[in-house]
Amino acid sequence: MRNIARMVTTFGVALLFSSTLLIGCSSKPNEAEMKQLNDLKEEVASLQKEISAKEQQKAALEKEIAELSAKVKKVTDDQAIVKQRLAK
């Protein structure tokens, strides 16, 4: 008798669990949800392109800063050499 009760209980829990999964997984998104999802995908793609462009712009600015820093260092070195020669 106990085995039958245990089997019925196990079967009932399995049935409840599987029906919950089927009900939860079987609902499909409606058109509004699909449109919203597609809009979000497009926005993500757009933002990724924007990030890429900003990273390229940042790299160009960093290169320009490095070039200007090199020029400043050269001018400073030249100035130090001129002062050194004038002091003699």
Which residues, 6+ apart, have CB-to-CB distance to 29 below 8 Å? 37
Residue 78 has pLDDT above 90, yes or no: yes
In order, the DSSP letters of 22-88 are HHHHH----HHHHHHHHHHHHHHHHHHHHHHHHHHHHHHHHHHHHHHHHHHHHHHHHHHHHHHHHH-
For the chain, the first-to-last Cα distance in angstroms comes to 115
Amino acid at 40: L
Q: Which domain holds residue 82?
A: 2-87
Select the more confidently predicted residue: 15 or 53: 53
Number of domains in the chain: 1
23-77 pLDDT tens trace: 555 567 788 889 999 999 999 999 999 999 999 999 999 999 999 999 999 999 9
Model confidence, pTM: 0.55
Residues 50, 44: Cα–Cα separation, whole Å? 10
Amino acid symbol at 37: L
